Amino acid sequence: GNSVTQMEGPVTLSEEAFLTINCTYTATGYPSLFWYVQYPGEGLQLLLKATKADDKGSNKGFEATYRKETTSFHLEKGSVQVSDSAVYFCALSERTGFQKLVFGTGTRLLVSP
Amino acid sequence: NAGVTQTPKFRVLKTGQSMTLLCAQDMNHEYMYWYRQDPGMGLRLIHYSVGEGTTAKGEVPDGYNVSRLKKQNFLLGLESAAPSQTSVYFCASSHPPNTEAFFGQGTRLTVV
């Protein structure tokens, strides 16, 4: 079945450091890919998405590129802020049938001043 | 905009008790979902609905029941709570073909 694998956390960075959170996926079809973010005490919210190979999703300084050849969707940000501290979830959705979202286990990011 | 609202936000149950979690969305979405979030396991789908009057099982449905009598509401029931059901529960909704899901703020349930 479909699955998403994320790097283990927590990821601890100083403010203004470069961020990469790795995400790889396994899918039988040609999925859409997502990054969701969960701030403390809140639900998940969509950060960015990409629906086809080589698409780049971007939002709030975060970027991720849909790499079909490596089945990856790594999240990057050039300069993190304390306010970016949160849990980040990579997810995929099939584009046919029910289109269920399948989530990775999440990666906690801690940014210190 | 309210979006997706979950009730209650916190609850403590004794083993064997029953309860219902309510999810309401005001976006006229067709699809609604219940997930549970446990440390190190991400989000796992419990049940889902693709429209009013329909429900289906997800990955971890045992011990839960659901109903979708109205399009805007999706109820999750625990008939006889067990400590293994201690978790944070999230409701979400989406509208095909856009697969972006909108989440509620969660219900933290503790079963003692």
Per the CB < 8 Å rule, is A43 touching B105? yes
Q: Rounded to a whole number, what is the distance in Å from the CA of A64 to chain B's nearest CA?
A: 16
Question: Which pLDDT band holds residue B54 (cuts at 50, 70, 90)?
Answer: very high
Asked if residue A95 has pLDDT above 80, the reply is no
Asked if residue B1 has pLDDT above 80, the reply is no
The residue of chain B nearest to residue A1, with distances taken between CA atoms, is B59
Average pLDDT over residues B11-36: 96
Question: Which pLDDT band holds residue A60 (cuts at 50, 70, 90)?
Answer: very high
Which amino acid makes up residue B51? Answer: G
pLDDT at A30 (0 to 100) = 84
Pick from B47, B99, B100 the residue to mutate for testing the A interface (most A CBs within 10 Å): B99
Short-list A22, A17, A18, CA closest to A6: A22
Per the CB < 8 Å rule, is B106 touching A105? no
Per the CB < 8 Å rule, is B105 touching A99? no
Tokens of A26: 């396994």
pLDDT at B98 (0 to 100) = 62
Q: What is the DSSP string of chain B?
A: ---EEEE-SEEEE-TT--EEEEEEESS--SEEEEEEEETTTEEEEEEEESSTT--EE-SS-TTEEEE-SSTTEEEEEESS--GGG-EEEEEEEEETTEEEEEE---EEEEE-
Whether the link from the prior residue into B83 is cis, omega within 30° of 0, is no
Pick from A6, A92, A99 the residue to mutate for testing the B interface (most B CBs within 10 Å): A99
Question: Which pLDDT band holds residue A100 (cuts at 50, 70, 90)?
Answer: confident
Whether the link from the prior residue into B8 is cis, omega within 30° of 0, is yes
Rounded CA separation B110/B19 (Å): 12
Which amino acid makes up residue B86? Answer: T
Short-list A4, A11, A19, A2, CA closest to A72: A4
Average pLDDT over residues B34-44: 89
Asked if residue B55 has pLDDT above 80, the reply is yes
Mean pLDDT taken over chain B: 93
